[in-house]
Amino acid sequence: MEISNRGSPPDGCGKAANRLSINWKKRPENMDDFEKTDIEPIVRDLYDALDGKVDEETIRKEVDSYINVFHIPEEFARSGILKKLGNTRPAVGGQSVTKKIAELEGTEMNVTIVAKMVFVEKKKINAKGVEKTIISGIAGDDTGTTPFTIWSDTGDYEKGSVYTFRNAYTKKWRDQVQINIGNRGKVEPNTEVSFNNVSRAAGTGAQEMDIGSITDQTKNCTVTGKVSDLSSRTINVKGEEKTVWGGMMADRTGRIQFTAWKDFGLKEGDVVRAKNAYIRAWKGIPQLNLGDNTEVERSDKDIGTVADGVSAKTVEEVVRIGGGLDISITGTLVDLRAGSGLIKRCPQCNRSVLSDECTVHGRIEPVMDLRLKATVDDGTGAISAVIGRAETEKITGITLGRAEEIAKKKGDMGAVADMMAGALILKKVTVKGNIMTDDFGPQMIVHSADISKVDVQAEAEKLYDEVEGSM
Ligand SMILES: [Zn+2]
């Protein structure tokens, strides 16, 4: 059987007609496993943002450790590294993020906020002996309200109207986040958005949610769940060490990874209510953040049996929610893509390499490994599933040692992938793991894979007929 190079999901089959029509980009074959994000674009961006003042190798080391070692979401990694290496505010005009008021942390360097001016006034201040007019007030959206100051503009703004605060920065004063518009910022009327119910206090907009219904589109929320897998790590913010906590929070509907950006005194096994937490999605997986605006209290609510198992989902559901942890998908293994079978890895960074050269570490003595990059189709859609060595050995019955012998005998590493394809394609598999989504579509990092104990031969023939019939 041949290894095809199709991107996922496969299309053109008759049964694909009713699927969600999403045009994923074709996943590049040399793109490494999800666990190792391709950091080069981030390195290049940061190199530019730092005006070339820091060499690429230093930046790459930082990015690698933030992203691949500490699994810090890319957005935080970018700003964290800029602060650490740049020691200056990054140039405005770089990547601006759009946030709701409740999401503001008081450390944003370049943020866009759409909000109503609940209150606005002109003030005269004395700046270094010079009298100056500034505009200050209260801005509000459906998640909260916060003070703002426009430092270098004396235009007229209308109370009750909605404006876009562009290229703003935020500061924190007495535990309250403040929006600032400096020289490079702009405040423009926004007639497209209206807020009928501006939250009076930050956070009152954060509605109570079941963990299982949080998606990557959720902004902020209040959840009650049980804390587990608690750990802390130290990060570097503006040259200062800061401790953050991470773990899992679960209720009977699901589990979510969380980060606590300050010490809430969380303990393993506690049931807590986190009011006004906010959600950041990393590659489609929603993550719960407990920040300065979050209130955490112990809860004696009976939350029932906590979901700690794996939830079975269809690909369509996964695409809709964006991704998630501990998901199980059962479908047909329709394709093994290039990069499957016997592969070489750099011993230092674990990247897969095609020759004895790593793009980062130069000439290396590669280590051999087994991996499958499978396309699993459950009839509602297809996901890419990356299966590591242990599970590959389990479902193919071919060990790494045996694979090396086969490759040696045939004089071709590809022979191993061909054999594995022959053994697996069109078989029914259940894969369990974490699913992330990027521009290339949903991809699962598989923790366990099983070939269903059904009559594989009969099933395969049936599926083969179906596939043939629909071509
Ligand atoms: Zn390397």
CA of 68 to the centre of ligand 1 (A): 13
Residue 305 lies in a domain: no
CA of 369 to the centre of ligand 1 (A): 15
- In sequence order, the β-bridge partners of residue 130 are 127
CA-to-CA distance for 457 and 12, rounded, in angstroms? 25
The pLDDT assigned to 217 comes to: 72
CA of 364 to the centre of ligand 1 (A): 8
Local structure of residue 270 (DSSP, 8 states): -
CA of 352 to the centre of ligand 1 (A): 8
Residue 87 lies in a domain: no
The pLDDT assigned to 305 comes to: 72
Encoding tokens for residue 51?
């005006």
CA of 353 to the centre of ligand 1 (A): 8
Pair (263, 374) in one structural domain: no
CA of 404 to the centre of ligand 1 (A): 22
Encoding tokens for residue 125?
């201040």
Are 318 and 250 spatial neighbours (Cβ–Cβ below 8 Å)? no
CA of 33 to the centre of ligand 1 (A): 14
CA-to-CA distance for 1 and 8, rounded, in angstroms? 19
Pair (315, 171) in one structural domain: no
Amino acid at 383: I
Are 225 and 332 spatial neighbours (Cβ–Cβ below 8 Å)? no
Q: Is the pTM of this model over 0.85?
A: no
Q: What separation in angstroms does the CA of 222 have from each of 305, 314, 374, 393, 429? A: 19, 27, 38, 43, 37
CA of 421 to the centre of ligand 1 (A): 28
Amino acid at 140: G
The pLDDT assigned to 29 comes to: 56
CA-to-CA distance for 453 and 159, rounded, in angstroms? 67
Task: Count how many domains the chain has.
Answer: 3
CA of 347 to the centre of ligand 1 (A): 7
CA of 427 to the centre of ligand 1 (A): 35
CA of 366 to the centre of ligand 1 (A): 9
CA of 343 to the centre of ligand 1 (A): 14
CA of 351 to the centre of ligand 1 (A): 6
Encoding tokens for residue 298?
């112990």
CA of 408 to the centre of ligand 1 (A): 24
CA of 74 to the centre of ligand 1 (A): 21
Domain that holds residue 150: 106-184
CA of 350 to the centre of ligand 1 (A): 6
CA of 157 to the centre of ligand 1 (A): 55
Residue 76 lies in a domain: no
CA of 365 to the centre of ligand 1 (A): 10
CA of 377 to the centre of ligand 1 (A): 33
Domain end, chosen from 256, 275, 298, is at 298
Pair (353, 442) in one structural domain: yes
Pair (321, 365) in one structural domain: yes
Give the pairing of strands 144-150 and 176-181: parallel
Residue 142 lies in a domain: yes
The pLDDT assigned to 22 comes to: 56
Could you read off the pLDDT tens digit of each residue along the chain, which spans 471 residues? 444 443 333 333 333 334 444 566 666 655 554 445 678 888 888 887 777 777 888 888 888 877 776 667 777 778 778 777 775 443 334 567 888 888 888 888 889 999 998 888 887 777 667 777 889 888 888 878 888 989 877 688 988 899 999 989 888 765 678 899 987 788 999 988 887 766 544 434 577 888 888 877 777 788 999 998 898 888 877 778 888 899 989 888 788 889 998 899 999 989 999 998 988 877 677 889 998 888 999 988 777 777 656 778 888 888 887 788 888 999 999 999 989 999 999 998 888 888 889 888 899 999 999 999 999 998 888 999 999 999 999 999 999 999 999 999 999 999 999 999 988 988 889 999 988 887 778 899 999 999 865 444 554 555 555 555 544
Residue 46 lies in a domain: no
Residue 98 lies in a domain: no
What angle do the packed helices 400-410 and 414-424 form, to 10 degrees? 120
Q: What separation in angstroms does the CA of 433 have from each of 237, 309, 333, 436? A: 32, 11, 16, 10
Residue 157 lies in a domain: yes
Encoding tokens for residue 226?
């049980």
Pair (220, 288) in one structural domain: yes
CA-to-CA distance for 341 and 106, rounded, in angstroms? 48
CA-to-CA distance for 221 and 161, rounded, in angstroms? 26
CA of 348 to the centre of ligand 1 (A): 5
CA of 58 to the centre of ligand 1 (A): 15
Nearest to 339 by CA among 331, 325, 351: 351
Pair (380, 454) in one structural domain: yes
Pair (120, 252) in one structural domain: no
Residue 303 lies in a domain: no
Pair (177, 230) in one structural domain: no
| Residues, beta carbon < 5 Å, ion ligand 1 | 346, 348-349, 358, 360-361
Are 110 and 95 spatial neighbours (Cβ–Cβ below 8 Å)? yes
CA of 64 to the centre of ligand 1 (A): 11
Pair (347, 411) in one structural domain: yes
Nearest to 397 by CA among 374, 376, 375, 416: 416
**Which helix (DSSP H) or strand (DSSP E) does residue 125 occupy?**
strand 111-127
Residue 252, helix vs strand vs coil: coil
Pair (427, 336) in one structural domain: yes
The pLDDT assigned to 418 comes to: 92
Are 301 and 273 spatial neighbours (Cβ–Cβ below 8 Å)? yes
Pair (316, 461) in one structural domain: yes
CA of 349 to the centre of ligand 1 (A): 4
Domain end, chosen from 298, 319, 352, is at 298
Domain end, chosen from 277, 298, 319, is at 298
CA of 59 to the centre of ligand 1 (A): 15
Pair (456, 325) in one structural domain: yes
Residue whose token pair is 């562009």: 166
Are 275 and 222 spatial neighbours (Cβ–Cβ below 8 Å)? yes
CA of 282 to the centre of ligand 1 (A): 24
CA of 346 to the centre of ligand 1 (A): 5
Q: Kindly report the CATH number assigned to the domain that includes residue 315.
A: 2.40.50.140
From the CB of residue 252, how many other CB atoms can be counted at a distance below 10 Å?
14
Are 144 and 177 spatial neighbours (Cβ–Cβ below 8 Å)? no
